[in-house]
Amino acid sequence: MAHEIEIDSEADLGRTTFEAEDLYKQRTPITKPPAPRLQSRRASMQETPWTIKDSFNVETKDVVQRCIHTLIPTVNFFDVVDDRPDLYGPFWITTTVIQALFFSNSITEYARYATGHGTSGYSIKKLISAASIIYGYTTIIAVLLWGILVWNKCNPKLLDCLCLYGYANIVWLPVSLATPPFGLLSTLASHIVKYVLTGIGLLISIVFLTRNLYPICQQAGSNLCKLLLFGIIVFHCLLALSLQLIFFS
C-alpha cells in the first residue's frame, strides 16, 4: 500500500492537478509518511533549475498565514509552507526585527534624555549591532544546521532552513515593541517584565524550531538528534541573552 502510493506520487510529479489530487489522497490516511515528501522534494529540485525569483513567488496571504503559524506553533510549519519556501518573509521579517530593536532602544534612550536622565542623543552603533546579530545569527545558524543535516544524509533544502529561521525571528517583533511601554515602570518592575517578555519570546521560538526540526533530525539517529536539538536550544538562548543585554536593558 505504501509502496503503491510512493509510485503514484513519483509518476504524477510533474503535473499540478494530479499532484493536488495525490496530496488530497495522501491526506485521507491518518499518518503521513515523511519519506515521499522528501523524495518528491528532491525530485522537484532536480527537475527545474531554481532561480532566486522563484523564492519571491509568494502572495500576501501566504506570508501572513506563515507569520501567524510561527507565532502560534500548533501546526507543522512545513505543511503551511507546502513545499514552496520563500525568501521574502525571512528577509523582511529579519529587517523589520532589526528596525524594531533599534526603534525600541532609541525610544528608551530618548525618553531618558527627555526626562533629564542619561546622555543626549542616540547611538547609531546600535543599528549596526542589531543588523550584525540578527542577520548573522539567522544566516550562519541556518547554513550550519543545513550543513550538519546534509552531512548526516537527512537531505533538507537550504531554503527550508533559511525559511524556518527567518520566520522564527518574528517573535522578537512584539517583544521589542512591548519593551518601551513597560520601561516607564519602576526599575525593578521594568526589569522583571522585560525578562518575562524575553522569556516568552524565547519559549515560543524554541517550541517552533524544535517542533519543526525534530522530524528531520530524527532521521540522523537518536543520539545525534538529541545533540542537534540541544545545540539549537543553546544557541537560541544565547541569542535571547544577547538581545536582552544589548537592547532591552
Partner 1 sequence: MTDIGKHNTEIEQDEMENLLRMDPVRSSLDVESRAIEPDNIAGESIVETRFTGGDSLDEPIRVTLFNEFRAIGEKLVYVLYPKNAQVLRDWDLWGPLIFSLVIALALALSTDKIERESVFTVVVALIWFGEAVCSLNIKLLGANISIFQSMCILGYSSFPLMIASIVCAFVPLIFIRIPVIVAMYAWTLFAAMGVLQNSNLSNKKLLAVYPLFLFYFSLAWIIFL
Nearer to partner 1, 169 or 212 (CB): 169
Nearer to partner 1, 57 or 72 (CB): 57
Q: How far apart are CA 219 and CA 27, in angstroms?
A: 22
Per-position b or e across 159-175, b if 16+ CB within 10 A of its CB: bbbbbbbbbbbbbbbeb
Nearer to partner 1, 114 or 203 (CB): 114
Contacts with partner 1: how many residues (CB under 8 A)?
Answer: 25
Compute CA distances 214 → 119, 194, 229, 236, whole Å. 47, 30, 8, 16
Site string for partner 1, 44-63 (x = CB under 8 A): --------xx--xxxxx--x
Q: DSSP class of residue 152?
A: T
Q: Which grid cell sits at 81?
A: 509552507
Among 77, 78, 88, 172, binds partner 1 (CB under 8 A): 88
* Nearest approach, Cβ of residue 74 and partner 1 (Å): 25
Among 26, 99, 152, 242, binds partner 1 (CB under 8 A): 99
Closest among 175, 195, 179, 163 to 69, alpha carbons compared = 163
Asked if 210 is part of the footprint of partner 1 (rule: CB under 8 A), the reply reads: no
CA atoms within 13 A on the CB side of 89: 30
Q: Which of residues 109-128 bind partner 1 (CB under 8 A)?
A: 110, 120-125, 127-128
